[in-house]
């Protein structure tokens, strides 16, 4: 237990990912759901960095940089959608987002 | 020994703050816990020898994305809390059940792989991979602008499109 | 043991104290400089020429009643001043005040650490300062602080883009992210980078004024329209932390500008042999002198220029500074490849 191997990081990352999944499944506030998605993306990045260390090669970190870029794009567009939706229905509850147009 | 203490401490804090993010009622507090979580993950990256990733994590996630979340939380000035209504279809319980199923699956995979043969030693892999000299930043830069040039350009296009999309969505009239 | 733990700890303690003293005297300096610009005397009562004024201010602020508004978010309200102050202080970890010096038979570098992502570290830590401002305004549960904090953070984020773009062109010039490496590359080039990158310097300085919320970009603290800014509801020591953080950030911007553009701890004209007698002056005093010049210009501008309007400020940031900064990066890159 005292020697930290990549497996330890993978278990941590699995735990973080699970918490993200639970957040998406259980919460109904769409902003919290977005935050949970960020948590999951972070878990993926921890994985990539751990593999990068195991194989002594930075490709994993390059992928993590791409993941961060995609997360930034996702956050910008997603929050734009939330704002546009809020302007029309005055709510951020995901259960009330049940029409395709209004 | 020291590495183990730091790792277990960081891991406990990361998981704890992640639980706080999804369990807090107040959205602003959630965002704050998220920032702390990201900073702790950045420390984990430093432990893994990925300094560049750690700096980018702090700069983009903590300094950029969560600020955006805070802006939206403050703009979306809710008169009623979003989750006070009844949950008619019991989706919360269903979600919890599905999540615990996934947890069981992941636990099974971990137990299975832990009892199997261990991962190949890093030394063998090091010979195959560590052909690029220089520090962490130089290595990532080298790979980004040679092997991964096209994904890099695609990522920049993605960011451009996201920027335009966000402006179109958020602006009332153009 | 001594080299690994005691000396770094000592350096951190000395540096933190030096920065805090410098910050409190910067406040006095600002009052004096503005007073002289306006043909006044400034603080004169406490000590000769008001030299003990910072101590009197500190005593006053610490003994004032510490008020938390009703219905404020207690935890966030308490944490916000700390979240502003901490990033401003930990940036100093990578700033090189001087080269290695001999002290009591040991060679001690005059910086806390020299990491190979130094400049990136500065940018990322500085980007965390915005939280204290947003949350301080939000947690006060009051209209004007909230408006002001939204303004402040929008301003900070916009100008951060321009400043970071100029830093990219500086990285192209130096070929390294380490702060010591950047200073040494100016020694190798026998050229302060301000002469090679005047455009980047101008943008960095304007962006620095905006990022520290200083005049002429002190919109977040516009007393006339916002009753004082995001820290309206704060009093006593918590207000003092916001106040000190602003001045600590001025010192941060000045010392980063010194390191990047004015050769850090190098003497003037580092390549000219005939001026070698200037090396008799300790290297760190060159650093302090250059930083002081920047701070003086900050105060001078505050006393001279009127405040920008908010839309003018945003237009300047997005439509002027950022395009010029990106163009500067392109020109620098092309020149680097061709030369």
**What is the mean pLDDT for each group of 10 consecutive residues in chain A (102 residues)?**
79 89 85 92 92 86 92 90 83 76 60
Domain map (residue ranges) of chain A: 29-95
pLDDT, tens only, B97-132: 887 888 888 888 877 777 655 555 555 445 444 444
| Average pLDDT of span B72-77 | 81
The region of weakest confidence among A87-96, B72-81, C278-287 is B72-81
Instruction: Please report the residues numbered 30 through 49 in chain A whose beta carbons come closer than 8 angstroms to any beta carbon of chain B.
Output: 31-32, 34-36, 38-39, 42, 45-46, 49
| Average pLDDT of span C234-255 | 88
The first and second tokens of residue C87, run together, are: 């990033």
Q: Of B19, B47, B78, which residue constitutes the final position of a domain?
A: B78
Query: What's the number of domains chain B is made of?
Result: 2
Strand C106-109 relative to strand C100-103, pairing = antiparallel
pLDDT of residue B95 exceeding 80: no
Under an 8 A CB cutoff, do A54 and B119 touch? Answer: yes
| Average pLDDT of span C193-215 | 88
pLDDT of residue C163 exceeding 80: yes
Q: Are residues B136 and B96 in the same domain?
A: yes
Distance from C-alpha of C302 to C-alpha of C305, rounded to nearest angstrom: 6
ipTM confidence: 0.90
| Average pLDDT of span B75-82 | 66
Under an 8 A CB cutoff, do C153 and B28 touch? Answer: no
Nearest to A32 among B22, B92, B140 (CB): B22
Distance from C-alpha of B95 to C-alpha of B93, rounded to nearest angstrom: 5
Q: Are residues B48 and B73 in the same domain?
A: yes
Burial of A51 (0-12, 13-18, 19+ CB in 10 A): buried
| Average pLDDT of span C7-35 | 90
pLDDT, tens only, B43-58: 999 888 888 899 999 9
Half-sphere exposure of A53 (CA within 13 A, CB side): 21
The region of weakest confidence among B31-35, B47-51, B86-90, B93-97 is B86-90
Q: Count the Cβ atoms, other than its own, within 10 Å of residue B172.
A: 7
Q: Of B26, B52, B78, which residue constitutes the final position of a domain?
A: B78
For residue A64, give how far its alpha carbon lies from the nearest alpha carbon of chain B (Å): 8
pLDDT of residue B27: 87
Q: Of B54, B78, B102, which residue constitutes the final position of a domain?
A: B78
Q: How many residues does chain C have?
A: 339
To the nearest whole percent, how much of chain C has pLDDT over 90?
Answer: 20
Q: Are residues B11 and B73 in the same domain?
A: yes
Find chains touching chain C: ≥3 CB pairs under 8 Å. B
Q: How many CB pairs under 8 A join B and C?
A: 63
Under an 8 A CB cutoff, do B67 and C130 touch? Answer: yes
Q: Range of B169's domain?
A: 91-174
Q: Are residues B154 and B96 in the same domain?
A: yes
Q: Are residues B25 and B68 in the same domain?
A: yes
Q: Are residues B118 and B140 in the same domain?
A: yes
To the nearest whole percent, how much of chain C has pLDDT over 70?
Answer: 98
| Contacts C90 to B, Cβ<8 Å | none
pLDDT of residue C53: 87
Nearest to C124 among B55, B70, B136 (CB): B55
Q: Are residues B69 and B121 in the same domain?
A: no
- DSSP calls for C53-92: HHHHHHHHHHHS-----TT--HHHHHHHHHHHHHHHHHGG
| Average pLDDT of span B29-53 | 91
Chain B residue with the nearest C-alpha to that of C158:
B64
For residue A100, give how far its alpha carbon lies from the nearest alpha carbon of chain B (Å): 16
* B86, part of any domain: no
Between C120 and A89, name the one with better pLDDT. Answer: C120
- Please answer whether residues A30 and A93 qualify as being in contact, where contact means their C-beta atoms are separated by less than 8 angstroms: yes
* B139, part of any domain: yes
Query: Residues of B59-95 as b/e, b for ≥16 C-beta within 10 angstroms?
Result: bbbbbbbbbbbbbbbbebeeeeebbeeeeeeeeeeeb
pLDDT of residue B64: 86
Under an 8 A CB cutoff, do A46 and B163 touch? Answer: no
Q: Are residues B97 and B171 in the same domain?
A: yes
Question: In which band, very low, low, confident or very high, does the pLDDT at B88 lie, cut at 50, 70 and 90?
Answer: low
- Please answer whether residues C32 and C50 qualify as being in contact, where contact means their C-beta atoms are separated by less than 8 angstroms: yes
Q: What rounded mean pLDDT belongs to chain C?
A: 86
Distance from C-alpha of B85 to C-alpha of C43, rounded to nearest angstrom: 60
Find chains touching chain B: ≥3 CB pairs under 8 Å. A, C
**Euclidean distance between the first and the last CA atom of chain C, given in angstroms as a whole number:** 47
pLDDT of residue B152: 92
- Please answer whether residues A34 and A40 qualify as being in contact, where contact means their C-beta atoms are separated by less than 8 angstroms: no
H/E element holding C102? strand C100-103
B63 to each of A59, B89, C125, how far by Cα in Å?
25, 38, 8
pLDDT, tens only, C46-96: 888 888 888 888 888 888 888 888 888 888 888 889 998 999 999 999 998
Q: Are residues B131 and B65 in the same domain?
A: no
For residue B19, give how far its alpha carbon lies from the nearest alpha carbon of chain C (Å): 19
* B12, part of any domain: yes
* B98, part of any domain: yes
Q: Are residues B1 and B74 in the same domain?
A: yes
Under an 8 A CB cutoff, do C127 and B59 touch? Answer: yes
Under an 8 A CB cutoff, do A76 and B122 touch? Answer: no
Nearest to A86 among B76, B96, B132 (CB): B76
* B83, part of any domain: no
Let me know if chains C and A touch, i.e. at least 3 Cβ pairs under 8 angstroms: no
In CATH, the number for domain A29-95 is 1.10.287.3510
Would an 8 Å CB–CB cutoff place A76 in contact with chain B? yes
Distance from C-alpha of C94 to C-alpha of B67, rounded to nearest angstrom: 25
pLDDT of residue B132: 46
The region of weakest confidence among A4-13, B114-123, C101-110, C172-181 is B114-123
SS3 of chain B: helix, strand, coil, percent, to 5: 75, 0, 25
Tokens 């999540």 belong to residue? B99
pLDDT of residue A1: 61
Burial of B115 (0-12, 13-18, 19+ CB in 10 A): exposed
Model-level pTM? 0.89
Chain C residue with the nearest C-alpha to that of B51:
C117
| Contacts B12 to A, Cβ<8 Å | none
Question: In which band, very low, low, confident or very high, does the pLDDT at C252 lie, cut at 50, 70 and 90?
Answer: very high
Which domain CATH number covers B35?
A: 1.20.120.1200
Question: In which band, very low, low, confident or very high, does the pLDDT at B89 lie, cut at 50, 70 and 90?
Answer: low
* B140, part of any domain: yes
Nearest to C138 among B58, B63, B74 (CB): B74
């Amino acid at each position: 237990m005292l020697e930290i191997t990549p497996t330890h990081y993978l278990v941590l990352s699995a735990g973080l990912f699970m918490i993200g999944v639970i957040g998406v499944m259980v919460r109904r506030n769409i902003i919290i759901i977005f935050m949970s998605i960020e948590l999951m993306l972070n878990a993926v990045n921890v994985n990539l960095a751990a593999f990068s260390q195991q194989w002594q090669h930075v490709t994993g970190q390059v992928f993590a940089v791409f993941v961060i870029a995609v997360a930034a794009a996702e956050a910008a567009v997603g929050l734009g959608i939330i704002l546009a939706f809020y302007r029309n229905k005055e709510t951020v509850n995901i259960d009330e987002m049940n029409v395709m147009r209004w | 020994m020291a590495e183990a203490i730091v790792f277990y401490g960081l891991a406990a804090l990361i998981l704890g703050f992640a639980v706080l993010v999804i369990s807090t009622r107040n959205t602003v507090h959630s965002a704050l816990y998220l920032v702390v979580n990201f900073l702790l993950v950045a420390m984990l990256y430093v432990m893994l020898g990925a300094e560049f990733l750690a700096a980018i994590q702090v700069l983009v996630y903590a300094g950029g994305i969560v600020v955006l979340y805070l802006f939206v939380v403050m703009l979306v000035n809710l008169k009623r809390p979003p989750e006070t209504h009844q949950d008619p279809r019991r989706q919360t319980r269903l979600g919890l059940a599905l999540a615990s199923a996934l947890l069981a699956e992941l636990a099974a995979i971990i137990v299975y792989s832990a009892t199997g043969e261990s991962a190949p030693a890093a030394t063998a892999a090091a010979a195959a991979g560590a052909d690029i000299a220089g520090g962490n930043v130089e290595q990532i830069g080298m790979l980004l602008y040679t092997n991964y040039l096209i994904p890099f350009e695609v990522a920049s296009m993605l960011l451009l499109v996201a920027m335009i999309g966000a402006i179109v969505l958020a602006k009332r009239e153009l | 043991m001594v080299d690994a733990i005691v000396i770094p700890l000592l350096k951190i303690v000395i540096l933190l104290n030096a920065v805090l003293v410098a910050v409190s005297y910067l406040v006095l300096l600002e009052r004096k400089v503005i007073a002289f610009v306006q043909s006044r005397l400034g603080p004169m009562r406490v000590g000769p020429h008001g030299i003990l004024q910072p101590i009197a201010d500190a005593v006053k602020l610490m003994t004032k009643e510490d008020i938390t508004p009703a219905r404020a978010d207690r935890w966030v309200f308490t944490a916000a001043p700390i979240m502003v102050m901490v990033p401003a202080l930990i940036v100093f970890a990578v700033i090189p005040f001087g080269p290695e010096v001999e002290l009591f038979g040991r060679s001690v570098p005059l910086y806390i650490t020299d990491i190979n992502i130094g400049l990136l570290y500065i940018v990322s830590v500085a980007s965390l300062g915005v939280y204290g401002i947003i949350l301080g305004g939000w947690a006060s549960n009051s209209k004007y602080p909230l408006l002001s904090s939204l303004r402040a953070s929008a301003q900070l984020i916009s100008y951060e883009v321009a400043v970071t773009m100029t830093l990219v062109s500086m990285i192209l010039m130096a070929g390294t992210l380490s702060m010591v490496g950047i200073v040494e590359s100016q020694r190798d080039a026998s050229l302060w980078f301000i002469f090679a990158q005047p455009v980047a310097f101008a943008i960095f300085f304007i962006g620095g004024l905006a990022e520290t919320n200083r005049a002429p970009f002190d919109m977040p603290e516009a007393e006339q329209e916002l009753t004082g800014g995001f820290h309206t509801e704060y009093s006593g020591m918590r207000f003092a932390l916001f106040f000190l953080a602003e001045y600590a950030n001025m010192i941060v911007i000045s010392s980063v500008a010194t390191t990047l553009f004015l050769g850090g701890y190098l003497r003037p004209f580092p390549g000219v042999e005939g001026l070698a007698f200037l090396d008799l002056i300790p290297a760190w005093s060159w650093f302090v002198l250059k930083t002081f010049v920047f701070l003086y210009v900050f105060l001078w501008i505050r006393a001279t220029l009127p405040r920008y309007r908010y839309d003018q400020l945003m237009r300047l940031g997005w439509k002027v500074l950022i395009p010029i900064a990106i163009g500067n990066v392109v020109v620098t890159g092309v020149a680097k490849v061709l030369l």
